[in-house]
């Protein structure tokens, strides 16, 4: 089951006795590598202090819609865009009612209206309040709008009543969110992804390579795991850490990458060639270090490497094949040429001459090109671009 690596989690804490459990929720999210920010309603502060949640989350608490200082650091609209998922825990009957009617008179209400993130609600209230006809109508309305509910659980409550209304325990909340996220559009699919540069040795200490950091390929792997896929990541030499749920295989040369790609495409449904593979390799690799004193100049005779993307496309025609085209000029024209020449289903083009979206940065801006359309994905974090690309791929392969 996937963890929350690369996930931005927005926890909204409302004013119920179960608010004290929000510190444990934060701890569990962070243990699973999530970045957690906290929004507190005014009534929540009566049950747990902002300082406590700030200490646990490591981030400043957000509690006011009209806080000039907070807006200058990360405005509420930016915070809404930042979140990958929103959890309201505990969520009171009053908060449910406000969400139903689209109330935006506090920060939480405004964020929910402004965000496209998946929203989970963990209710916590007296059993009679939960079973009340109005609350049940609000519950059904929110379900119909796509909100996901976790609980409430049954048991003894703070007031002494026994029945439904308790907030689900933090560890169970985390498990249920994971389970929901694992039911992604690529569940049951196996995806093989290449990432990073390759190295072609000249002698034992020198090699031909390129500037790829592997960040886009690793983001694609993380996004594929989030979408529910089994992921094989074949990586050239990089300094990145892969998602713990990824099957990682490290290689150096283009020949090694091709060999591993063939091996792990035997049972795969999708191939994504994101690696910056060296086009050429040295015809003669010296067994010993070439001394610079040996000659005034050094001539290296090169030969072409086998093209991994076109080889895989030809060998596994039933799979869905996606390539990346890192270009410096005539970007989309060259990408469309690559789509045709390599006989693949999709090419992702990006302009690496733009240093803001080129090699070794965290942002990207791409065109997703198929035989029938071109979809522009504006500049964003690579993990978000990767998620959008995987959503497009999932729609394509699920139509087959």
- Name the residues annotated as catalytic: 159
| Whether 219 contacts 350, CB under 8 Å | no
* Tokens matching residue 58: 């490591």
Nearest partner of 231 among 220, 215, 216, judged by Cα: 220
Nearest partner of 229 among 4, 2, 398, judged by Cα: 2
Nearest partner of 107 among 56, 143, 67, judged by Cα: 67
∠304-336-400 over CA atoms, to 5°?
105
Distance CA(328)–CA(342), nearest Å, equals 19
Task: Give the list of residues 6+ apart from residue 72 with CB closer than 8 angstroms, or none.
Answer: none
Per DSSP bridges, beta strands 148-149 and 118-123 are parallel
Nearest partner of 88 among 150, 8, 162, judged by Cα: 150
* DSSP 8-state symbol, 332: H
| Whether 336 contacts 312, CB under 8 Å | no
* Tokens matching residue 384: 């978000």
């Amino acid at each position: 089951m996937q963890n929350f690596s690369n996930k931005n989690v927005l926890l909204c804490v409302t004013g119920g006795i179960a608010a004290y459990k929000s510190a444990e929720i934060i701890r569990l999210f962070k243990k699973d590598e999530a970045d957690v920010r906290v929004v507190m309603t005014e009534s929540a502060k009566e049950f747990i202090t902002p300082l406590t949640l700030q200490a646990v989350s490591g981030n400043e608490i957000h509690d006011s819609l009209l806080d000039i200082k907070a807006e200058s650091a990360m405005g509420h609209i930016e915070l809404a865009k930042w979140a990958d998922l929103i959890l309201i825990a505990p969520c009171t009957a009053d908060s449910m009612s406000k969400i139903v009617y689209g109330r935006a008179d506090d920060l939480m209400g405004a964020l929910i209206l402004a965000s496209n993130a998946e929203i989970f609600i963990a209710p916590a209230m007296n059993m009679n309040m939960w079973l009340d006809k109005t609350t049940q109508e609000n519950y059904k309305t929110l379900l119909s709008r796509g909100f996901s509910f976790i609980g409430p659980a049954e048991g003894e409550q703070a007031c002494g009543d026994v029945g439904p209304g308790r907030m689900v325990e933090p560890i169970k909340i985390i498990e249920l969110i994971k389970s929901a996220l694992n039911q992604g559009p690529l569940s049951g699919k196996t995806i093989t992804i290449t990432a990073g540069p390759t190295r072609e040795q000249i002698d034992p200490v020198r090699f031909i390579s390129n500037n790829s950091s592997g960040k886009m390929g690793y983001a694609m792997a993380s996004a594929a795991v989030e979408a529910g896929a089994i992921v094989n990541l074949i990586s050239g030499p990089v300094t990145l850490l892969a998602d713990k749920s990824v099957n990682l295989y490290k290689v150096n040369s283009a020949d090694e990458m091709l060999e591993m790609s063939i091996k792990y495409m035997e049972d795969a449904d999708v191939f994504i060639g994101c690696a910056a593979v060296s086009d050429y390799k040295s015809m003669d690799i010296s067994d010993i270090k070439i001394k610079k004193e040996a000659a005034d100049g050094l001539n290296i005779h090169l030969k072409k490497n086998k093209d991994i993307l076109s080889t895989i496309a030809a060998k596994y025609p039933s799979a869905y094949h996606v390539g990346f085209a890192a270009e410096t000029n005539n970007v989309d024209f060259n990408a469309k040429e690559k789509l045709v020449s390599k006989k693949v289903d999709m090419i992702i083009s990006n302009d690496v001459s733009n240093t803001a979206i080129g090699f070794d940065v965290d942002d990207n801006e791409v065109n997703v090109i198929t035989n029938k359309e071109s979809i522009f994905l504006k500049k964003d974090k690579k993990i978000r671009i990767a998620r959008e690309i995987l959503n497009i791929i999932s729609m394509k392969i699920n139509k087959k």
